[in-house]
Structure 1
Amino acid sequence: MADKKDFAFKILSDNRQAGHNYFLSERFECGMVLTGTEVKAAKDAKIQLKDAYASVLGDEAWLLNAHISQYSHGNRENHLPVRNRKLLLHRREIDKLQEITREKGLALIPTKIYMKNGKIKCEIAVAKGKKLYDKRAADKARTADDEARAEMRRRA
């Protein structure tokens, strides 16, 4: 009975634009180095990942341009909303990400930030940018699927 754990999982922020703007392939779970007020603001879901991306700089992984709003009850020690935050990964994962991002046109995009067993985690995905015609094709396919489902509901 002791080996069964109760996994608490709560999504704090979701980057829905990532699926629309990029082809997402491989995903990695990583921890984040945060200050105290950042943790409290993150638990209040005051995170925005719209323009955020990850990068490997000097053998370390970093989350750049992620916006975590200032904590409402913070004092003068409150954090800056936009700053570089270190991502915690194993060495072999960092090396793999470094190899992947050397390829032309590939980037690391955060897809969501969530709490798992009381720890704040970030999921980053290897992404390749979509062209405008790719986005249109995806929208057309989604619309066709929606219409087919609506027709099936009408017939049933």
Structure 2
Amino acid sequence: LCFDFHPSDSSVYLIGTGEGHIHKCSITNRNHYLETYQKHFGAVNHIDRSPFYPDVFLSCSYDWTIQLWKEKTLTPILGFSSSQRSVVTVRWSPHQPDVFAAINGQQMEIWDLNTNILNPIIVHRAAPGVEFTSLLFARATDYVLVGDSDGEVTVYQLRNLRVDSYSNLTNHT
């Protein structure tokens, strides 16, 4: 269902499956998986490697969870869940090594692992009848772009993430 290449070794990649597994693969060894990571109980929807630590990655699933992995450990380091909905996309911030965002259709979440590992620090709900479908951090700015089922893209600015995080989301529609 999804894949992500290693940032410094383009022959190595991760594949998320419909069975909830993540396989580490190599284009030089097509007959065998290098590793298999198992925790999800539903299809893996997205995998994203940390831009700061290439051996660390996030995965999200139909099982309502986000998992934080270290490549040499076959079980997750941490698991996150804030709602009873499938998590569609998860992405690391390109600016802060402990911040990531996720969408689950009805809401966008910003997580800061230095602030709270149990709950997202920002939750923004979709308008009634609208589903969030895609998510991307802008590389050179503090903006998050979110696409929705109406075909619109909304740009949010993250401000002062470490101070009073719950009020630090500005909508730039």
Q: What is the TM-score when the length of structure 2 is the normalising length?
A: 0.25
Q: When you count strand as a share of all residues, which structure comes out higher?
A: 2
Higher relative contact order by CA 8 Å / sep ≥ 6: 1 or 2?
A: 1
Q: When you count helix as a share of all residues, which structure comes out higher?
A: 1
Which structure is larger by alpha-carbon Rg, 1 or 2? Answer: 1
Q: What is the TM-score when the length of structure 1 is the normalising length?
A: 0.27
